A and B are shown apart, each in its own frame.
Chain A
Amino acid sequence: QVQLVESGGGVVQPGRSLRLSCAASGFTFSSYGMHWVRQAPGKGLEWVAVISFDGSNTYYGDSVKGRFTISRDNSKNTLYLQMDSLRTEDTAVYYCAKTGSARACDYWGQGTLVTVSS
């Protein structure tokens, strides 16, 4: 069965960097686009970024463009999110999600919490 397991979250000071990982299993990782979506405490869902199946195309939400970088290693079945110049408003649970055949995100991980605080 499809499994997505995020890691790398924690507490970080404003302006610092953090890298999240998402280990995928149960499907052919190299065949699917992958997303990061975040959710601030008590708030709604915010799409962060997407990467194509082969890593050749990436797109970002306006609030993270220029600060976050999505990447993947298909040999390791792993998705990454490099987060630089972190701000307090980046505090959220970060989910990785798989693009389904119908293009909507069909499987989601349990999420990893990132807290940006001094």
Chain B
Amino acid sequence: DIVMTQSPDSLAVSLGERATINCKSTQSVLYSSNNKNYLAWYQQKPGQPPKLLIYWASTRESGVPDRFIGSGSGTDFTLTISSLQADDVAVYYCHQYYDTPWTFGQGTKVEIK
């Protein structure tokens, strides 16, 4: 199974500042035939289902603010919130859909400092 490990487990950032979440997989999720990373990022607020933010490691889902930026390739990925807003307080998960069983990172809780 591909294990996804996020860091840090939690972080507190001031409003307007940058938040950075890292995600590492135990094997590459880059599919060589189409050069796409099968890596997504989700945001989950309390009492709500996850919301897709980023797929193919760096493509924003429709309607997602451009302050959410996904980057990385292979086994190392990053979600950056360029200017944290109050509405961004949530838990963020990385997720590989390269191979079954699909797996998620353990989550990173983002709070306001």
Contacts and interface: CB of A to CB of B under 8 A. Distances in A.
Contacts of B59: 102
Interface in B84-100: 93, 95, 97, 100
A110 B40 CA distance: 20
A104 B60 CA distance: 12
B106 interface: yes
A8 interface: no
Given A100-B52, A102-B55, A104-B52, A45 B97 contact: no
Contacts of B38: 103
Residue among A60, A103, A110, A111 with max Cβ neighbours from chain B (10 Å)? A103
A63 B80 CA distance: 32
Interface string A42-62: 001111001000000001111
B50 A104 contact: no
B1 interface: yes
B49 A108 contact: yes
Interface residues of A, number: 22
B55 A109 contact: no
A29 interface: no
A50 B106 CA distance: 20
Contacts of A100: 52, 55
Nearest to B107: A44
Contacts of A89: none
Interface of B: 1, 38, 40, 42, 44, 48-52, 55-56, 59, 61, 93, 95, 97, 100-107
Given A44-B106, A105-B40, A106-B55, 19 more contacts: A37-B50, A45-B44, A45-B104, A46-B104, A47-B101, A47-B103, A47-B104, A50-B100, A50-B102, A59-B101, A62-B101, A95-B50, A100-B55, A102-B55, A102-B56, A102-B59, A104-B55, A106-B52, A111-B49
Across the A-B interface, the 7 shortest Cβ-Cβ residue pairs: A108-B49, A104-B40, A47-B102, A104-B55, A59-B100, A45-B104, A102-B55
